[in-house]
Amino acid sequence: MTDDAKRSGLSRRSFLRSGAAGALSGGLAAGLLTEEAAGAAADTDAPKTVGPGPVEIELEVNGVTRRLAVEPRVTLLDGLRDRLDVTGPKRVCDRGTCGACTVLEEGRPIYACSRLMIESAGRSVTTVEGLGSPDAMHDVQQAFVENDAQQCGYCTPGFVVATAALLARHPAPSEQEIEAGLGGNLCRCGTYKGIRAVVEGAGGGGVSGG
């Protein structure tokens, strides 16, 4: 991931960078914390400060490039729901402790409530709507239906996305991996048994990730 790529989120070039997270740890290691890095960073021209008024950004939501003007203080969650009418991610705790707002950013599960939308500029975001539709459900969505893994349904979109992320990482997760992988989502109705059945079904080849 280059810094050009990072900055271009604000200069409105849209691109998909799937797999960028994986590349980060290895790819940027060269020059880390070294004199070269310090030397390369010699330019002190301050970049422009934008906001607090609306700022034009572009991001990809469920495969579609979306362009809008948001204030820097708008979270990804509020921007998706209130501005783009993508209401799958739910606003429950709004403090990164319940998981109902879970979305994928560049394939990684994140809390949309705890990210500024402007930080997602130039990136791809996938919500529960992007995984599949009622007519063409994602395997995980189908498995939630079949295993009766929802009750009031408010936590479900976040759980579906977190489950898809877990299975993408661990196609046949162990007990421990399931607990760690879904530990960031809460269900107050207590549908955990059904959700566990969804994930364990994956081990039998019923559900695949991604």
Partner 1 sequence: MRPFGYAAPATVDQAVGLLEAEGSEALAGGTDLLSLLKDDVERVERLVALGGVTGLSGIELAGGMLRIGAMTTLQELRDHDDAIAALPALSVAIDGVASPQLRAMGTVGGDLLQRPRCWYYRRGFGLLALAADGRSMVTAGDNRYHAIFPEGEARFVNPSSLAPLLVAVGAEAVVRGPAGERRQPVEALYRAPEVDGERENTLAPGELLVGVEANVEGSRSAVYEVRQRRALDWPLMAAAVSLTGSGARTERARIVLGHAAPVPHVATAAGDLLAGQELTPETVAAAADAAVEGARPMSGNRYKVQLARTAVRRALGRAAGMEI
Per CB under 8 A, contacts with partner 1 among 118-137 are: 118-119
**Which range, of 19-27, 58-66, 136-144, 188-196, touches partner 1 by CB under 8 A?**
19-27
Per CB under 8 A, contacts with partner 1 among 70-99 are: 71-73, 75, 94-97, 99
Judged by CB under 8 A, how many residues of this single chain contact partner 1? 62
Q: How many CB atoms lie under 10 A from the CB of residue 120?
A: 24
Residue nearer to partner 1 on the CB measure, 119 or 146: 119
* Whole-number Å distance between alpha carbons of 23 and 152: 39
68 binds partner 1 (CB under 8 A): no
Binder of partner 1 out of 6, 17, 66, 83 (CB under 8 A): 6
Three-state secondary structure of 56-119: EEEEEECCEEEEEEECCCCEHHHHHHHHCCCCCCCCCCCCCCCCCCEEEECCEEEEHHHCEHHH
Closest to 198 (Cα-Cα) out of 156, 155, 154, 142? 142
Q: Smallest gap, in angstroms, from Cβ of residue 107 to partner 1?
A: 10
Q: Smallest gap, in angstroms, from Cβ of residue 38 to partner 1?
A: 7
Q: Smallest gap, in angstroms, from Cβ of residue 83 to partner 1?
A: 15
Q: Smallest gap, in angstroms, from Cβ of residue 112 to partner 1?
A: 9
Q: Smallest gap, in angstroms, from Cβ of residue 45 to partner 1?
A: 7
Binder of partner 1 out of 19, 63, 153, 183 (CB under 8 A): 183
Q: Which structure tokens are listed for 200?
A: 């364990």
* Whole-number Å distance between alpha carbons of 160 and 164: 6
Binder of partner 1 out of 60, 79, 92, 111 (CB under 8 A): 111
> How far is it between the farthest Cα atoms of the chain?
58
What angle separates helix 139-146 from helix 156-169, to the nearest 10 degrees?
120
Closest to 80 (Cα-Cα) out of 105, 61, 104? 61
Q: How many CB atoms lie under 10 A from the CB of residue 39?
A: 9
Please report, as ranges, the residues that interact with partner 1 according to CB under 8 A.
3, 6-7, 10, 21-22, 24-25, 27-33, 37-38, 40-53, 55, 71-73, 75, 94-97, 99, 102, 108-111, 113-116, 118-119, 162, 165-166, 179-181, 183-186
